[in-house]
Amino acid sequence: MFRTQARHAAATGEGTGGARGATAGGGGGAAGDGTPSRAPAAYLSGVTKTYGLGETTVQALDDVSVEFAAGEFTAVMGPSGSGKSTLMHCAAGLDTVDSGGVWIGETDITRLKDNDLTELRRDRVGFVFQSFNLVTTLSARENILLPLDIAGRRPDPQWFESVVQATGLADRLGHRPAQLSGGQQQRVACARAMVSRPEIIFADEPTGNLDSLSGAEVLGFLRESVDQRGQTIVMVTHDPSAAGRTDRVLFLADGRIVDEMREPTAERVLERMKAFEG
Ligand SMILES: Nc1ncnc2c1ncn2[C@@H]1O[C@H](COP(=O)(O)OP(=O)(O)O)[C@@H](O)[C@H]1O
Ligand SMILES: [Mg+2]
């Protein structure tokens, strides 16, 4: 974690404004070339987060430092209550931290004013929820374009087209969520998260409400987004086979990152999970 600490020192030394090095995430670049030399799309440094007061205090994140390299697909695993959702929410600016820094590219989001944070969440970060969170009265197309509509921006037609093609739902864009299967709805939600070309997407158990076939479709879509479009994704999952399709697995326990696996396979992830439980 030398790089994170060096960056953290530089950032805290320089205050908020300093633009250092290349901007992370700018389109992803050449995906899948295996070189982690680019600036991270996001990183956390010494993040702590507690909930509650007095005797009911829960330390959801306990001094977490981690980088998410641009163009990489990371899985986050760990027992229920280990802090996975808190990590995602803090990293995406959906929740505040007690201490530490959270960078999206070169921006420490813990120092942003409310308006700037709202804008950053809208333009530079995507989030996918377990429960899809689509607007039931809007078509799939309208749902996908909603974040851009709110921002008053038009989609990049080529980008929109490639994302829609990749969902496999090009012929269902006029359907409302209720007319789509769970797996299709979640692919719409993923496309919605991707349409603004965010630097990073956080997905909290995106396949948790899906049967294994639908889950595999969503996972295939996410994997392809990383491989074909250089998307950076961090995904919480309980499923070893889902984790086995990512580039890297982080294991959380009691609010700490306790292990990490590169180039995981379902078998190795399962073994590691058993070792923790044992
Ligand atoms: N809004 C909240 N208020 C109080 N406690 C919370 C809140 N959110 C999470 N926690 C607690 O923080 C810990 C981590 O929760 P969470 O990040 O949701 O874990 P996970 O996603 O790994 O199941 C748990 O003990 C949980 O009960
Ligand atoms: Mg959770």
pLDDT tens, residue by residue, 141-178? 999 999 999 889 999 999 999 999 999 999 999 999 99
Q: In the chain, what are the domains?
A: 40-130+200-277 (3.40.50.300)
CB 272 within 8 A of CB 259: yes
For residue 278, what pLDDT is reported? 63
Bigger pLDDT: 39 vs 16: 39
Nearest CA to ligand 1 atom 1: 51
pLDDT over 90 (residue 12): no
How confident is the model over 222-251, as pLDDT tens digits? 999 999 999 999 999 999 999 999 999 999
Ligand nearest to the Cα of 49, by number: 1
Cα of 81 vs centre of ligand 1, distance in Å, is 5
Query: For the ranges 26-35, 94-103, 184-193, 197-206, which has the lowest average pLDDT?
Result: 26-35
Mutation test of ligand 1: which of 44, 58, 96 has the most ligand atoms closer than 8 Å to its C-beta?
A: 58
Q: Of ligand 1's atoms, which has the minimum distance to the CA of residue 255?
A: 14
Distance between Cα 40 and ligand 2 center (Å): 24
Of 24-28, 87-91, 170-174, give the lowest mean pLDDT range.
Answer: 24-28
Ligand 2 centroid to 9 CA: how many Å?
A: 31
Return the residue whose CA atom lies nearest to atom 17 of ligand 1.
83
